[in-house]
Amino acid sequence: MKKDQVTKRYLAVTLLNIIITLVEFIGGALSGSLALLSDAVHNLSNVGAIILSFVAHLISKRKRDQWKTFGYERVETLAAFTNGVILIIISIFLLFEAIQRFFDPQPVKGGLMLTVAVVGLVANAVSMLVIGMHAKNNLNIKATVLHMMSDALSSVVVVIGGLVIMVTKVSWLDPLLTILVSIFVFIEAVKISIKAANVLMETNPDIDLEKIRTIVLAHPEVKHLHHVHIWRYSEDYIMLDAHLNVDYDLPAGKFEQLCQQISDQLATLGINHVNFQAECERGKNDEMIASFGHEE
């Protein structure tokens, strides 16, 4: 998708979500529906998520420079973590509001609640269609679509609640639905935040270190493997840095060929950026994962 098309789609979706958020806030206040207000707050967070996602997408395309020698791709991970934390805070707030509403039930206008919720559901569906048409090869857009899916689910729950309230006049169903939506949003937000935090903390992306050891030490030129660091820099790059003990007389050209062969094999594990440091005696007794902690 061309850059100007991305901009237009993000702009269209942002404006649509701003409008529907205002409608839901007004409708929630007039109908007395906490579930509808929670959906409006969720949509408001969605507007922020779309804007943040788009800005991060633009920044991530910047070229490497003297200040960011790795580049700017990880800014999208920062955006995902920020969105996750914001959603966690919002879901906890709505959860407490819903619990309080159980002890102080308020009359709810089911008809107005239903009408506004249907409009919100349609808007969410249109947003997903507009921005999701080219999400196949763009993780950032996929994350935005996932956020919209949670909004759509929230709208579906409110629609169901509006229908039931119109028929049964059961006022406690409104806070109950709010609790269910809040719990769902909380769980999904925690998942996003943990995944983003793992990337930012340079956590091992679930790659078996023993498989790495087997691949590397299968080459007779390598005597020992130590100081291994493996991390996910972004969704597109998994990096490996390690020290290899080799013979004194191994030529630089041969070592380069060796590194290329090992890199090609490690690519089967998903590792696509490898850096090896050649050593002879230094570190030959060190472990794969070096310990730099302070001992008592």
Q: Residue 6 maps to which CATH number? A: 1.20.1510.10
Domain presence at residue 284: no
Domain presence at residue 291: no
**160: CB partners within 8 A, 6+ apart:** 177
Instruction: Judge if 86 and 193 occupy the same domain.
Output: yes
| Contact present, 273 and 240 (Cβ < 8 Å) | yes
- Listing DSSP states for 219-260 in one string gives STT--EEEEEEEEESSSS-EEEEEEEE--TT--HHHHHHHHH
Instruction: Judge if 56 and 143 occupy the same domain.
Output: yes
| Contact present, 229 and 241 (Cβ < 8 Å) | yes
3-31 helix and 34-60 helix, angle to the nearest 10 degrees? 160
Domain presence at residue 296: no
Domain presence at residue 5: yes
Q: Quick one: tokens of 65?
A: 């420079």
Distance CA 279, CA 120 (A): 62
Q: Quick one: tokens of 143?
A: 């994350």
Domain presence at residue 178: yes
Instruction: Judge if 131 and 218 occupy the same domain.
Output: no
The closest alpha carbon to 120, from 168, 173, 169, 157, belongs to 157
Instruction: Write out residues in the chain with pLDDT < 70, as ranges.
Output: 1-7, 33-36, 38-39, 42, 104-114, 117, 131-143, 146-147, 150, 154, 158, 162, 165, 169, 171, 174, 290-296
Distance CA 37, CA 43 (A): 10
Instruction: Judge if 168 and 234 occupy the same domain.
Output: no
Local structure of 1: helix, strand or coil: coil
Domain boundary among 201, 221, 238: 201
Q: Residue 34, Cβ neighbours under 10 Å: how many? A: 22
Q: Which amino acid is at 62?
A: R
| pLDDT for res 187 | 86
| pLDDT for res 106 | 57
Instruction: Judge if 7 and 105 occupy the same domain.
Output: yes
Instruction: Judge if 17 and 91 occupy the same domain.
Output: yes
| pLDDT for res 38 | 67
Expressed as residue numbers, the domain containing 247 is 209-279
Q: What is the chain's percent helix, strand, coil content, to nearest 5?
A: 65, 10, 25
Domain presence at residue 285: no
Instruction: Judge if 152 and 237 occupy the same domain.
Output: no
Domain presence at residue 294: no
Instruction: Judge if 26 and 154 occupy the same domain.
Output: yes
Instruction: Judge if 213 and 193 occupy the same domain.
Output: no
| pLDDT for res 296 | 38
| pLDDT for res 265 | 96
> For the CA atoms of 64, 9, 121, 32, what is the dihedral angle to 10 degrees?
80
| pLDDT for res 1 | 45
| pLDDT for res 100 | 79
Local structure of 67: helix, strand or coil: coil
| pLDDT for res 278 | 95
CATH code, domain with 242: 3.30.70.1350
Q: How many domains does the chain have?
A: 2
| Contact present, 47 and 18 (Cβ < 8 Å) | yes
Domain presence at residue 293: no
Distance CA 175, CA 113 (A): 13
